[in-house]
Amino acid sequence: MMGRYYNHACGGIVFFLVFYAIVITADDYTVADGNKSILVALGCFWCAEQAFEQYAPGVVEVVSGYAGGVNENPTYRNHPEHYEVVLIEYDPNKTSYEILVNYAYRNMDPFDAHGQFCDKGKSYYPAIFYQNEKERMTAEKVLAEILEMYPDWSEDKIKAPILERPTFWTAEEYHQNYYIKNPLNYGYYKNACRRSQRLKEVWGEDEYKCYHEEEYSCFNMTVLNANGTKVKAELNAKNAPEETAGLLSRTQIIVISICGAVVLIGLIFLVKSKTYTHNKECIA
């Protein structure tokens, strides 16, 4: 009787521990039935979000967040050791993990061990994450193909590791769709960081264009999905507008506008004062 009790008790404890482990390691974002997801770190998650949502085929949604750190429920002000990452939800009937890994590499500076572009520190380190052995092998295959394309590169100089996928935590709402909600600020930040310029320097103008155009012309508007079937490429599911150049931030534009208005009012006042003084002298 006691043995049966202990068996039940042990079984209950094991079930609880397994259930607890699943709960605490599960992402806090759930993809739709039939869809899959990939996790990558490419520096600033605003820019990674735009790159995949606007230019990568088969992408349903991209969510900015944190992963790989020491605390649960991280925030922008408190995410020690976490990467800034994006979780890319995709339709496996319209794209594949392999294609999206290719996009991830073309949106990073793989030689920067200190961060990405103008952002430095652990939060901005680049990385590719895999969820199972098949994905790990695929990511390594993509990297090997890239090294063949660029014979001057060597694997030991690539500073973006291929790592087991950690738990994903969704970032604050104001970070989501930032490039859509704040086009001027986003465009200014991206331009000031020289993100596009550096990607062109690393990958070359032609390769950059292939992975940053909605026409998908380099791939004849077709893509091999997760089943190896050729399908028509579908991009920019959110119909995001063309990127704003952003030579000035929204705040700078407001400040310049206010200063311009103040100067204009001052000039008007000065002209009126001089006119009044001149009229007064004429009357006298």
Taking each helix axis from N to C terminus, what angle separates 45-55 and 183-192, rounded to the nearest 10 degrees? 110
How far is residue 258's CA from residue 48's CA, in Å, rounded to a whole number? 34
Q: Return the exposure string of 49-68: e unless at least 16 CB atoms fall within 10 Å of the residue's CB, then b.
A: bbbbbbbbbbbbbbbbbbbb
**Residue 238 identity (one-letter amino acid):** K
**Unique residue bearing structure tokens 């061990």:** 113
CB atoms within 10 A of CB 27: 18
How far is residue 162's CA from residue 97's CA, in Å, rounded to a whole number? 14
Alpha helices for the chain (secondary structure H): 2-25, 45-55, 97-105, 133-149, 178-181, 183-192, 195-203, 205-210, 250-283
Q: Which residues contact 202 (CB under 8 A, 6 or more apart)?
A: 109, 110, 111
Question: Which of 44, 193, 259, 282 is the catalytic position?
Answer: 44
Is 259 in the active site?
no
What is each CA distance from 127 to 44, 102, 116, 149, 210, in whole angstroms? 12, 13, 11, 20, 22
How far is residue 275's CA from residue 281's CA, in Å, rounded to a whole number? 10
Do 250 and 121 contact (CB within 8 A), yes or no?
Answer: no
- Residues labelled catalytic: 44
